[in-house]
Amino acid sequence: MEYYYKCPKCKNRFMVEKKISEYNPHEICPKCGEESNRDMEVNYCNGNYVVKCGGFYGKTSS
């Protein structure tokens, strides 16, 4: 699974690929070493659905 993070210090956005069982809401920024939080502004697309991190989803038009 891909998890996206945004660093509060340098604003770097990065992706970490992990198993769901290994998920951590905080990761270290590879650019500056600051603890970073999950990026809640990222849209995830999967098939006919667009999912926002908050868990809201909607069917896209075909």
Q: What DSSP string describes the chain?
A: -EEEEE-TTT--EEEEE--GGG--SEEE-TTT--EEEE-TT-EEEETTEEEETTS-EEEPP-
pLDDT score for 38: 87
Range of the domain at 7: 2-59
* Per-residue confidence in pLDDT tens, the chain, 62 aa: 888 999 999 999 999 998 989 988 899 999 999 999 888 766 555 554 455 555 554 555 55
| 41 vs 62: CA distance, rounded Å | 24
Q: What is the pLDDT of residue 1?
A: 86
pLDDT for 5 equals: 92
User: Domains in the chain: how many in total?
Assistant: 1
Q: pLDDT value at position 58?
A: 52
> What pLDDT sits at residue 2?
87
